[in-house]
Structure 1
Amino acid sequence: MTQVIILNGGSSSGKTSIARSLQALLPDPWLSFSIDDFVEALPERMLSSDAGIQFAPGGAVSVGADFRTLEAAWMAGIAATARAGAHVVIDDVFLGGAASQQRWEQALGELDILWVGVRCNPEAAAQREGRRANRTAGMAAQQAETVHEGVRYDLELDTANTGSADCARTIAERLS
């Protein structure tokens, strides 16, 4: 039985909306953890340092050693939560493509995972990004394809043409 659903997609692709729709739709309670929440929990000094995370003009994102150390601890904590019996939805942006997926595989180990690719074409993602005050311009278009490079999925969704509630229903059908 699936204990963890991982939603991977670029910025503004619709992952958070799908996670919320899943929480409303699924009969059992599912906790939702987002990479955005992790970044917001970082100390302010890590939001613009080589060791932390940097958002460059044009949308490029780079992370350093301290970020990776804390990210590994965050992943281990989520894995422990799932091992303790909670169902978990993870909303992430695989900046490293396949390497990001491997980090989750190592953290989650034996847990049953549903890997979901959340795709949104660069134009639609950029339009959504423009409506969000907390995004760096260009990030959505830049990440739209790169976060999927080398990643294996059980299910892929196109949020440019399908709403979050319908995407959640597709995931729920896959779980049953």
Structure 2
Amino acid sequence: MATQVIVLNGGSSSGKTGISRCLQAILPTPWLSLSVDDLVDALPPAVLSDSSGITFGDEGEVEVGAGFRELETAWMTGIAAMARAGARIILDDVFLSGAESQQRVRRQLDGLEILWVGVRCDAEIAAGREIARGDRTGGMAASQAELVHQGVVYDLEVDTGKAESLTCARTIAAEVS
């Protein structure tokens, strides 16, 4: 069966979005790129400030509550429906709960052919990117650099601290069937 979903998991500022854009440019068929950032950007302001939603601490910590999880489940159900309808999806995510997060995504995408990709980046490099971006809470990249990979099982891993996004995308594309 052909790959229907590519899941890119990595910490903030690890290079997932750059890889996703490169994949869209080099894969021979059209792929939709969706990110957890798209979900967060779509949330109403109340969910961004309520403890049942998602909150961002001064040191880069991210806390998610039941309200966010409910919306995340609906979001993932929609992504799975698009893939089942024939869209190929690149999902750019941050597994804040490591293996538990992967299991949540796996349940939502059950029955689909998934390529699981770990996007690694040295915490110091990611922190530098975070500063350059200017749109992230300081400390988020460093705190997530290893946390998001704990217990997660991948088909493939790439390291954007050692290779450019296009090189990483070519490595991933070679594994897409």
Whether these two folds match at TM > 0.5 is: yes
How far the C-alpha of 1:48 sits from its partner, in A, is: 1.6
The separation in 1 between residues aligned to 2:27 and 2:87, in whole angstroms, is 13
The separation in 2 between residues aligned to 1:32 and 1:100, in whole angstroms, is 19
The separation in 1 between residues aligned to 2:105 and 2:56, in whole angstroms, is 23
In the other structure, the counterpart of 2:42 is: 41
1:34-113 matches, within 5 Å, as 34-113=35-114
In the other structure, the counterpart of 1:173 is: 174
Unpaired runs of 5+ residues, structure 1, are: none
User: What RMSD in Å do the two structures reach over aligned CA positions?
Assistant: 0.6
Say whether residues 1:29 and 2:30 are aligned partners: yes
Task: Give the partner amino acid of 2:110.
Answer: G
Task: Give the partner amino acid of 1:117.
Answer: G
Cα-to-partner distance string for 1:7-60 (whole Å, 9 max, x where unaligned): 000000000000000000001000010000100000011112101101001100
How far the C-alpha of 1:175 sits from its partner, in A, is: 1.5
Unpaired runs of 5+ residues, structure 2, are: none
Task: Give the partner amino acid of 1:116.
Answer: V
How far the C-alpha of 1:134 sits from its partner, in A, is: 1.1
The separation in 2 between residues aligned to 1:175 and 1:90, in whole angstroms, is 14
State the identity as a percent: 64
In the other structure, the counterpart of 2:157 is: 156
How far the C-alpha of 1:152 sits from its partner, in A, is: 0.2
In the other structure, the counterpart of 2:136 is: 135
Which SS does the other structure have where 1:85 is aligned?
coil
| Runs of 4 or more consecutive aligned structure 1 residues displaced over 4 Å after TM superposition | none
Which SS does the other structure have where 1:131 is aligned?
helix
The separation in 1 between residues aligned to 2:28 and 2:64, in whole angstroms, is 37
The separation in 2 between residues aligned to 1:131 and 1:71, in whole angstroms, is 28
In the other structure, the counterpart of 1:146 is: 147
Which SS does the other structure have where 1:91 is aligned?
strand
Cα-to-partner distance string for 1:61-112 (whole Å, 9 max, x where unaligned): 0000000000000000000000000100000000010111011111000100
Tell me the TM-score normalized by structure 2: 0.98
Task: Give the partner amino acid of 2:123.
Answer: P
Task: Give the partner amino acid of 2:104.
Answer: R
The separation in 2 between residues aligned to 1:29 and 1:131, in whole angstroms, is 30
The separation in 2 between residues aligned to 1:173 and 1:78, in whole angstroms, is 23
Task: Give the partner amino acid of 1:119.
Answer: R
The separation in 2 between residues aligned to 1:134 and 1:99, in whole angstroms, is 27
Which SS does the other structure have where 1:90 is aligned?
strand
